[in-house]
Amino acid sequence: MPQDPTERRVVVTGVPRHTLPHARLRSRGRYPHASGYYRPRTEIDEQTTLGHTYVRSLMRSQLRSACVTLAVLVLLVGPLPLAFAAMPDGAGLEWAILGFSLYPPLVLLARWYVRRAERNEQDLVRLVEDR
């Protein structure tokens, strides 16, 4: 049967069997791994103290990034009303500042924040998946 060149091949994968958390085995006192080593994913799934610490660490780093972004935004936009009040005849300059010169820093700040948030999440995923 000839394959149509427009069909895409689909790879179906599942979770490797050795990484599945076995809560039933743990509750009976047996460990899923012979070495007794628990993966962080198991700790997070079972909501242990260590898993709570992992999640809290992610939340703390996300909050830190958000606070830094907010501080830069306040420093960038906060002084504008004072600057506009100091220029009573600068209506054209006000519109130029608001319309053109303010957006590039805002876009860069937003881009930095999104990349930082994604990096924080990837760090947690790397930790959980043991990469």
pLDDT average per 10 residues of sequence, the chain (131 residues): 66 62 47 53 70 85 96 94 86 85 93 96 83 54
Query: What pLDDT is attached to residue 48?
Result: 74
Query: What pLDDT is attached to residue 3?
Result: 60
Query: What pLDDT is attached to residue 115?
Result: 97
Of 33, 29, 30, 37, the closest CA to residue 16 belongs to 33
CA atoms within a 13 Å half-sphere pointing along the CA-CB vector of 83:
11
- Contact predicate 119/62, CB 8 Å: no
pTM reported for the whole predicted model: 0.61
Q: Which residues of 6-20 are buried (b: 16+ CB within 10 A; e: fewer)?
A: eeeeeeeeeeeeeee
Query: What pLDDT is attached to residue 41?
Result: 64
